[in-house]
Amino acid sequence: MSWEPIVKEQSDWPVVPNLRNYAQAIEDFSWRRAQQELQGLPAGRGLNIAHEAVDRHANTTGNHLALRWLGKNGDVLDFSYEDLRKLTNRFANVLRQLGVSPGERVFALAGRLPELYLAALGTFKNRSVFCPLFSAFGPEPIKARINIGGAKVLVTTEALYQRKVAGIREALPSLEHVLLIGTDQQPTHIPGTLDFHQLMREASDEFTIQLTAPEDIALLHFTSGTTGTPKGAVHVHGAVVAHHITGKLALDLHPEDVFWCTADPGWVTGTSYGIIAPLTNGVTMVVDEADFDAERWYRILQEQKVTVWYTAPTAIRMLMKAGAEIVQKYDLSHLRFLASVGEPLNPEAVVWSQKIYGKPFHDNWWQTETGGIMIANYASMDIRPGSMGKPLPGIEAAIVNKTPDGKIEVVTAPEIQGELALRPGWPSMFRAYLNEPERYQKCFADGWYLTGDLARRDADGYFWFIGRKDDVIKTSGHLIGPFEVESILLEHAAVAEAGVIGKPDPVAMEIVKAFVSLKPGYEASDALRRELFAHARSRLGAVVAPKEIEFRDKLPRTRSGKIMRRLLKAQELGLPTGDTSTLEDS
Ligand code: ATP
Ligand code: MG
C-alpha cells in the first residue's frame, strides 16, 4: 500500500504542541518528571485520581468550565471545576454514609448523564473502585459483571433498573445499595432502592480524601469482548500519571481547549479520556448524551467550538458515509486536533479528513489493559496514513516473536511482523484480570507484556497494525492481516464498511473472505462484486485479495464500535457464536 505522508510544517501549528520534537521528548522523559506535573494530595496523603482531576483545579481555576453536558433533548448543564468539587464531595459522603469502604466496588449502569461523572469521581474520592457498564447491556451481561466484580453499590436510572435489574436483583448477592437517578428531580419510590438526588442533597459538600497509595485500586474495566468473553481489567490510582501525560502529549490537551471524547464511559476510552485525562489537564470537556448522528455531531463541533476531538474509526466511517456535502453547512474552524482510537484507522479515512475538514485524524493505539494511549500520531509529527504512529515517551514498544521454547525474541529489523509487546512498568498498566490470575500471567513473558495484536515497525520507527493474533489469516503459506484487505476495500467509493476473515479451505488452509456493507446510493450486485474483486486484486495482488465477497446491510460490531470478525467467522462456519454480551444489537 502506498500513501503519501501528511507532512506537517512548523508554520502550520495553530498552537504550539505540547510535544514539539519527538526525539527530544523521548530523551527528556521520565515517569518521575511526569508525576511532578501532578500535585499529590495535601500533607503527603498520596495520589488520588479525583484530586488531580477536580480539586487541584477547583483550588486555583475553580470557575473554569469543566463539563458541559448536552442532553439528548436539548438541555444543557454546565459544571465548573468548583461545582464538580462540591458535587463529587457529596457523592463521596453518600458512599461513606452508606458504609461503603475503600476497595469496595461501585458500579454504574447509566447513559452519559452528569450523575455518572459525579459518581465516578466521587467513588475515587472515597477510594472505592468504580466500574462503569454500558447502559445498553441486557440483564445477563449486567448480572455476570456485577457478580464477577462483587458490586456493593449500583448507580442507575429508574428506567434501567426496572427494565434490566429488578428482575435479576435476587441473583446479585453482593449488591447492597441501588441508587436511582430519578426523572424530573422527583424522589423515586421503588422498593429496595435509594434516591440518588435525595442522598446527594442531604450529604455535605466537604470531604477530605484520605491516604491514597498509588497502588490502591481505582477502576475495574471490562474489555470490549471483541475476541471472546470480556475480561475485568484492574487499574490503580497511580494510573493518573499516565492518563494525564498521554492526554497532554498524544491528544495535545491545553487548558484552554474544548475537548470532546465521543466514547461512552462503558468502555475504557470513555473513562481514561472521557473523564480523567481531560480534567487533569484542566480543559472544558463536552459530554453528549445522544447517540451518533452526523448532523448533530457537526452541530456540536460548531456550537461548542470544539478544539480537540477524539473519536473512533466506526464513527469516522459513518461520517464519511454521510458525505462531504453536509460538512459545508457547518463552521468547524475551531477544530485544531483530531484523534481516533479503537480499531485500525484505514488510510482513506485519514486522507478524507485532511481533504474535507482540512485536518487529518491522528490514529492512536491502546487497550483496556494498557489503561492509556501507548502509540500515537502527534500534533507535531508527519502522519503516514495507516500507521498508528510512534510509542509515547516512557513507553518501550517492540515487535517480538515467541520461540518454540517459549522465549521472547525481539525483532530489531524493520518491516518484520510479529506480536506487539510493551515493557511493563508504565503507571496505567492493568494490575490484574479480576479473578483470573492465570489469564493475567499468560500476558507476560520474558519481561514483556504481550498485547495479542500483530504489528510491524518501519525503518523510521512508525508502528503499523496488522491484526489481532486471533484474526490473522493463513492462506497458501502467507500470513495476511485483515486490516490490509479491509483498507483496500474501503478505498472503493461504494464501500462503507468491510470485515475480512479467513475461511477454512482444504487446499489453501484458509481463503480470504470479505463482508462488505455499502454506502447510500449503491446496490449490491454481481457487477459491483466483480468491480471490488478487480479493485482488490489490482491493489493487493491475487494472493492477498479476497476470494469471496458477501454483501451485508451492516456488520456485527461491539458496543464500543469494533467489527466482530469472530462472529462473522462463526456465522460463516455455522459454529456457536460464543459470548455476544457486548454485541451492538444484542
Ligand atoms: P477483548 O480483549 O475482550 O477481545 P478488545 O480487545 O476489543 O476486546 P479493548 O481493550 O477495548 O477490547 O480494545 C483494544 C484493542 O482494540 C486492541 O488490542 C486492538 O486490537 C484494537 N485497537 C485499538 N486501537 C487500535 C488502533 N489504533 N489500531 C488498530 N487496532 C486498535
Ligand atoms: Mg483485547
pLDDT in tens, 409-427: 999 999 999 999 999 999 9
Ligand 2 centroid to 224 CA: how many Å? 7
The answer to whether the CB of 314 is under 6 A from ligand 1 is no
Q: Which is the closest atom of ligand 1 to the Cα of 467?
A: 20
Q: Which is the closest atom of ligand 1 to the Cα of 364?
A: 27
Residue 285 CA to its chain's centroid (Å) = 16
What pLDDT is stored for residue 366 in this prediction?
98
148 pLDDT above the threshold of 60: yes
Ligand 2 centroid to 434 CA: how many Å? 15
Ligand 1 centroid to 14 CA: how many Å? 31
What pLDDT is stored for residue 476 in this prediction?
85
Band of pLDDT at residue 185, cut at 50, 70 and 90:
low
- Compute the half-sphere exposure of residue 476: CA atoms within 13 Å on the CB side of its CA: 8
- 102's CB contacts (< 8 A; 6+ apart) are 126, 127, 128, 210, 216
What pLDDT is stored for residue 348 in this prediction?
96
- 437's CB contacts (< 8 A; 6+ apart) are none
The answer to whether the CB of 264 is under 6 A from ligand 1 is no
Q: CATH homologous superfamily for 473-573?
A: ANL, C-terminal domain (3.30.300.30)
The answer to whether the CB of 377 is under 6 A from ligand 1 is no
The answer to whether the CB of 486 is under 6 A from ligand 1 is no
Ligand 1 centroid to 185 CA: how many Å? 38
1 pLDDT above the threshold of 60: no
Residue whose Cα lies nearest atom 3 of ligand 1: it is 225
Annotate 232-274 with three-state secondary structure. EEEEEHHHHHHHHHHHHHCCCCCCCCEEEECCCCCCHHHHHHH
- 96's CB contacts (< 8 A; 6+ apart) are 126, 207
187 pLDDT above the threshold of 80: no
In a 10 Å sphere around its CB, with 0-12 CB exposed, 13-18 middle and 19+ buried, how is residue 522 labelled? Answer: middle
Asked whether 496 and 316 are in contact (CB, 8 A), the reply is no
| Helices vs strands, H then E, count in the chain | 19, 28
C-alpha cell at 477: 503459506
For the chain, what is the mean pLDDT?
A: 96
Asked whether 464 and 418 are in contact (CB, 8 A), the reply is no
Band of pLDDT at residue 566, cut at 50, 70 and 90:
very high
Among the bound ligands, name the one nearest to the CA of residue 134: 1
Better-scored residue on pLDDT, 187 or 246: 246
227 pLDDT above the threshold of 90: no
Q: What is the pLDDT of residues 268-326, one digit of tens each?
A: 999 999 999 999 999 999 999 999 999 999 999 999 999 999 999 999 999 999 999 99
Q: What is the mean pLDDT of residues 145-169?
A: 96
Q: Range(s) for CATH 3.30.300.30 in the chain?
A: 473-573
The answer to whether the CB of 388 is under 6 A from ligand 1 is yes
Band of pLDDT at residue 116, cut at 50, 70 and 90:
very high
Q: Which is the closest atom of ligand 1 to the Cα of 560?
A: 11
- Pairing of the two strands 444-445 and 478-480: unpaired
Q: What is the mean pLDDT of residues 449-469?
A: 97
184 pLDDT above the threshold of 60: no
Residue whose Cα lies nearest atom 27 of ligand 1: it is 365
Among the bound ligands, name the one nearest to the CA of residue 581: 1
What pLDDT is stored for residue 182 in this prediction?
86
Rg (CA), the chain: 23
- 407's CB contacts (< 8 A; 6+ apart) are 445, 446
Mutate to test the pocket of ligand 1, among 366, 373, 428, 564 (most ligand atoms within 8 A of CB): 366
Q: What is the pLDDT of residues 22-53, one digit of tens each?
A: 999 999 999 999 999 999 999 999 999 999 99
Entry pTM: 0.96
Topology classification of domain 10-455: Rossmann fold (3.40.50)
Cα–Cα distance list, 116 to 130, 181, 404 (Å): 10, 9, 48
The answer to whether the CB of 222 is under 6 A from ligand 1 is no
Among the bound ligands, name the one nearest to the CA of residue 371: 1
2 pLDDT above the threshold of 80: no
Q: Range(s) for CATH 3.40.50.12780 in the chain?
A: 10-455
Q: What is the mean pLDDT of residues 351-365?
A: 97
Ligand 1 centroid to 366 CA: how many Å? 7
329 pLDDT above the threshold of 60: yes
Mutate to test the pocket of ligand 1, among 231, 343, 383 (most ligand atoms within 8 A of CB): 343
The answer to whether the CB of 370 is under 6 A from ligand 1 is no
For the ranges 56-70, 76-90, 106-120, 401-415, which has the lowest average pLDDT?
Answer: 401-415
C-alpha cell at 51: 484530586
Residue whose Cα lies nearest atom 31 of ligand 1: it is 343
Angle between helices 114-125 and 81-97 (to 10 degrees): 60
- Pairing of the two strands 337-340 and 361-365: parallel
The answer to whether the CB of 367 is under 6 A from ligand 1 is yes
- Position 568, amino acid: L
Mutate to test the pocket of ligand 1, among 219, 428, 443, 453 (most ligand atoms within 8 A of CB): 453
Ligand 1 centroid to 341 CA: how many Å? 9
